[in-house]
Structure formats: structure tokens, C-alpha cells
Amino acid sequence: MNVVCMGETLIDFVCTDQNTSMADSTHFIKKSGGAPANVAACIAKLGGSSLFAGAVGHDPFGDSLINELTQYGVKTEFIKRSLKPTTMAFISLMADGERDFVFNRGADSDFDLTQTQINQLLDNAILHLGAATALLGDTLYQTYLKTAQTAKHNQQLISFDPNYRVDLWPNRLAEFIEKSLEFIKLADMVKVSEEELELLTGQSDLAKGCDQLHELGVKIITVTIGAKGCYLSTVAQKSIIPAYQITPIDTTGAGDAFIGALLFQLAQQPTSDYQTLSEYVLFANKVSGLVCEHYGPMTGLNDYQTIIKTTRALKQ
């Protein structure tokens, strides 16, 4: 089954002066990024079928993004070109690999599809919506909503990741919550961080927060909890799936690699069995952890056999 990943692809300029604020950063390296593009690259690298749908500029950065996605094996026929410059993000890193973002938004906001194109896009597909910029409005948001509503009508699996970035929502937190919940109500599976779960539900308790989202119709919830791993929740069962021991360099794209690895497995063998889902999440934790040992969200991606052969201690 194909996994369609819709949203932004962009250029990440990652500061290599670790533990330095953005204001004091000097040295940057160019990396391909964008949450849904990262997910698509992960799925294709693992050996699955993925397609990225979004917009880039008519510029060398747009060329670079399309070329790299193609090299990973991602289908790119639904990438459109905009007269706006390709979207960029500048990222500075702390000693623990955590990040500070500055966005320069451009072409991704212009993505648009007709209903006929949406129907073609969703043929025999899982839909993943990675929402870092998509909820901000513009044409991309309208396309996002039409596509999600069509997939829901078709009873296709919908995955949603709100990808909250504080720099994108200054004084607009209520709007972010409202729009995220709009898509959560359409989704079968939701991936959030601890911070996002509390923002969306007002609950600091993981179980209570997840139950609140389950009441909206979500069947599977994964809450990434950093070095502890992932909290996996269904209506019937909940538990922490442990992480793998890593030495983080850059956590950019870790969550995207996680959801990519999870969707890769669900596309191969759909399931609602909790034990099987736990095994899927354990594998996804490994994929995500290995990404954190490299600069850039795509650099540390590996093929399926390499991941399987990699042995690390579980972090209890």
C-alpha cells in the first residue's frame, strides 16, 4: 500500500556550532527537510512505497529537494512549483540535540489540488498529514482539509502529526489547538509529543490526555517521550515502549522518522492488535534514535535490513 505524505518540504540550514543561540550562530550546513517529506523519505528508505505531495519554488533549492526525495525512492509527481522561493528553516542546536527554529516560509503555502487529483492521489493509499506549516492557512490548508475529508469519506487510514512549532504560532495558540483538533477528529492515528498532548488536551497526565483524544474518535495514539521512548495508547490498552540508547547530535526529524517507520509497517501489514503495534513502535523507536546521531533529518535514515541488524540496549 502507498503512503501519501502531504505538507511542506523545505531546506534546513542546521547550525554546527552546538549549544549556541541562533543570534550567535555562524556555521550552517544545508539539509533537506520538512516533516511530511522526512516521513516519506523514511518509508521509501526502509523499502516501502511513499509519495510526497507539496510545493517548492522554481529555484535551486526546489531542484535539490526534488532530487533528494527521488534518490530516496519517494514518488514526486504531485510536487508542484511555485513562483515563491522554496521554504527554509534555520536551526540551532543545544548540547542535548534539542533545537531552536527560525522559519522563512515560501512556496509550500501555494500547494493546491483539484478534487480529481485528490482522488488519484488517494488511490490505494494511507494518508499522512504532517502539519508544521499546513495549519497556518493559505492554499495548502484548504488542500489539506479537502484531502483529509475525502480520505475519511473513503474510510482510508489517516495519520496526523500536528508538529507544533512555537515560532510559527506567536499569539495564535488557540487557533493552533482549534485547527489541530479539526484534523484529529478525522484521524485514525495521531502522533504527538508530551508538550503537544498537554497543549491540545490541557492534561499533563498521559493516560488522561490520550483518553480525551480517543473520545474524538482516534484509535491509535503515540506520544513520543524523548529518551524514555514512546507512550502507546489505544482505547483498551496503554504502555511505555522503551527507547534505544543513543548519543544525540541533532533531534531534527526524529519524530518524522518514528512515524515513517510506524507507517511503513502498517502499510505492509495493517493491524489493530496491541502486541503487534507495540512491536511496530519498538522498531520505530530504533529508526528514530539512529536518525538523532546525524545532522539533518534524512541523513541518518537506513534501509530495513540495516535497522534490523543494529543492536542497541533498551533505555528503561
- CATH of residue 201's domain is 3.40.1190.20
How many separate helices (H) and strands (E) can be counted in the chain? Answer: 10, 15
**Residue 313: per-residue pLDDT:** 46
Let me know if residue 28 belongs to a domain.
no
Q: Give me the residue label for grid cell 554546527.
A: 16
The closest alpha carbon to 4, from 66, 68, 50, belongs to 50
Please identify every stretch of the chain with a pLDDT value under 70, giving residue numbers as ranges.
93-99, 246-253, 291-305, 307-316
**Residue 166: per-residue pLDDT:** 85
DSSP H helices in the chain:
35-46, 60-72, 115-121, 138-153, 173-184, 194-201, 206-214, 254-268, 274-291, 304-309
The closest alpha carbon to 104, from 81, 83, 84, 79, belongs to 84
**Residue 69: per-residue pLDDT:** 96
Q: Give me the residue label for grid cell 495521531.
A: 190
Residue 232's domain spans which residues?
Answer: 2-10+33-87+107-315
Q: Is the dihedral of CA 201, 207, 211, 217 positive or negative?
A: positive
**Residue 308: per-residue pLDDT:** 63
**Residue 248: per-residue pLDDT:** 61
**Residue 53: per-residue pLDDT:** 98
Let me know if residue 304 belongs to a domain.
yes
**Residue 312: per-residue pLDDT:** 52
pTM recorded for the entire structure: 0.89
The set of residues, in sequence order, having a beta carbon less than 8 Å from that of 153 and lying 6+ positions away, is none
Number of domains in the chain: 1
Let me know if residue 24 belongs to a domain.
no
**Residue 147: per-residue pLDDT:** 98
189-193 vs 158-161, strand pairing mode: parallel
Let me know if residue 23 belongs to a domain.
no
Let me know if residue 96 belongs to a domain.
no
**Residue 226: per-residue pLDDT:** 82
Let me know if residue 27 belongs to a domain.
no
User: Is 13:83 a contact under the CB 8 Å cutoff?
Assistant: no
Distance between CA atoms of residues 163 and 247, nearest Å: 23
β-bridge partners, 99: 93
